[in-house]
């Protein structure tokens, strides 16, 4: 019988409960035990894990690496999927290998390139991947100049932090004065330019934003699995147009994604996002980590998390081609169990190999994204 595989996810997104589910439902029926850490005691990933622990707050990146190495040694971690402090962790890959842990993460060079969106745009443009026009701004006057240039070309302007993830800080600039229209319905991303300029003036400090045109739909996220040999094993596009989601293998999306991950050493799981600008796909963002929606590839008969763990352990899954593309779907909320106590309970005895299935729970529930066909 194959030995148990022990996987650790640190401070990850709530949607990765589905990542964990797929690891347990692997095609080889191999026993998988999952360790999870988080800063929020009510994170659903803690409830879904076999063992869970609250992370210490306030650690520097270097101190976090020491904490992570101790976790891997104490917990017998075979594969570590880092999200928090990824850059610091991957720079110590040899130290993790020394305690028997494989990192499911890219090279330090790749993480450094794609941590900063401006650096990323310059890099991918150098290999021929189209990017939208963009301005890096730090002051109100620079923001005004960039917005006026875009508006002069008949385009709407938006801005977002030069570093960050998940759409945090994304805003669309308007010239409409603040009014009750901004207070009706749900809060949206639109913000009047005069309020932004006033806020910058009052703050008295520089920002680090990228200004660019508002790009058109569809948005296509290409989920990639790439080996340490820089050869891609899997590339599938997930399309988003309003609430409608779907899948694509069209080369206009896959070819530039392959060029990026193979050209910059974006090993293991990554997510390359594109949108449309003037009738052609342009790069939106590069995520050097598994996407929160990665589990949706199961609608195409693909278990990407398990293929990635196999690859990290040196068991090459080879080229993975989806046997079919699933139908269009939408995403809705569904309940997930939480632990009945605010601090995750700990297993004290040595875990035993067992068939991996989520334990029944009577704990309260929290919403998580599920997919439904349209």
pLDDT greater at residue 272 or residue 342: 272
* Per-residue pLDDT at 243: 94
Q: What would the pLDDT profile of 151-203 be if each residue is shown by its tens digit?
A: 999 999 999 999 877 678 899 999 988 888 778 888 889 999 999 999 999 99
pLDDT greater at residue 351 or residue 369: 369
Residue 293 has pLDDT above 50, yes or no: yes
pLDDT greater at residue 194 or residue 350: 194
pTM above 0.85, yes or no: yes
Tell me what percent of the residues of the chain surpass a pLDDT of 90: 82
Mean pLDDT along residues 71-80: 97
Q: What would the pLDDT profile of 100-142 be if each residue is shown by its tens digit?
A: 999 999 999 999 999 999 999 999 999 999 999 999 999 999 9
* Per-residue pLDDT at 363: 39
3-state secondary structure the chain: CCCCEEEEEECCCHHHHHHHHHHHCCCCCCCEEEEEEECCCCCHHHHHCCEEEECCCCCCHHHHHHHHHHHHHHHCCCEEECCCCHHHHHCCHHHHHHCCCEECCCCHHHHHHHHCHHHHHHHHHHCCCCCCCCEEECCHHHHHHHHHHHHHCCCCEEEEECCCCCCCCCEEEECCCCCHHHHCCCCCCEEEHHHHHHHHHHHCCCCCEEEEECCEEEEEEEEEEECCCCCEEEEEEEEEECCEEEEECCHHHHHHHHHHHHHCCCCEEEEEEEEEECCEEEEEEEECCCCCCHHHHHHHCCCHHHHHHHHHCCCCCCCCCCCCCCCCEEEEEEEEECCCCCCCCCCCCCCCCCCCCCCCCCCCEEEEEEEEEC
Tell me what percent of the residues of the chain surpass a pLDDT of 70: 91
* Per-residue pLDDT at 372: 66
Mean pLDDT of the chain: 91
* Per-residue pLDDT at 186: 84
């Amino acid at each position: 019988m194959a030995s148990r595989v022990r996987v650790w996810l640190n401070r990850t997104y709530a949607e990765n409960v589905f990542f964990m589910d797929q690891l347990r439902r692997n095609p080889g029926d191999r026993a998988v035990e999952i360790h999870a850490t988080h800063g929020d005691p009510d994170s659903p990933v803690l409830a879904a894990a076999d063992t869970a622990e609250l992370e210490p707050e306030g650690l520097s990146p270097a101190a976090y690496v020491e904490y992570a190495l101790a976790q891997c040694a104490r917990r017998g971690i075979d594969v570590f999927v880092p999200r928090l402090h990824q850059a610091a962790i991957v720079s110590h890959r040899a130290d993790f290998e020394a305690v028997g842990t494989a990192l499911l993460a890219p090279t330090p060079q790749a993480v450094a390139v794609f941590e900063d969106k401006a650096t990323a745009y310059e890099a991918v443009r150098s290999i021929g991947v189209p990017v939208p026009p963009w301005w890096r701004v730090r002051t109100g006057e620079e923001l005004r100049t960039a917005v006026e240039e875009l508006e002069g070309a008949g385009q709407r302007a938006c801005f977002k932090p030069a570093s960050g993830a998940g759409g945090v800080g994304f805003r669309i600039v308007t010239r409409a004065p603040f009014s009750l229209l901004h207070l009706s319905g749900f809060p949206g991303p639109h913000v009047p330019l005069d309020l932004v300029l006033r806020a910058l003036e009052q703050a008295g400090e520089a920002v680090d934003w990228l200004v660019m045109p508002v790009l058109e739909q569809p948005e296509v996220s290409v989920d990639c699995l790439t080996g340490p040999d820089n050869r891609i094993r899997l590339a599938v596009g997930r399309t988003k147009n309003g609430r409608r989601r779907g899948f694509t293998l069209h080369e206009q999306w896959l070819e530039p994604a392959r060029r990026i991950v193979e050209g910059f050493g974006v090993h293991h799981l990554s997510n390359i996002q594109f949108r449309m600008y003037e009738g052609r796909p342009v790069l939106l963002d590069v995520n050097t980590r598994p996407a929160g929606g990665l589990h949706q590839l199961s609608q195409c008969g693909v278990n990407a998390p398990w293929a990635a763990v196999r690859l990290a352990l040196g068991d090459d899954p080879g080229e993975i081609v989806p046997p079919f593309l699933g139908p269009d779907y939408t995403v809705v909320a569904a309940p997930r169990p939480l632990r009945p106590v605010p601090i995750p309970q700990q297993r004290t005895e040595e875990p035993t190999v067992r068939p991996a299935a989520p334990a029944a729970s009577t704990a309260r529930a929290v919403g998580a994204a599920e997919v439904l066909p349209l």
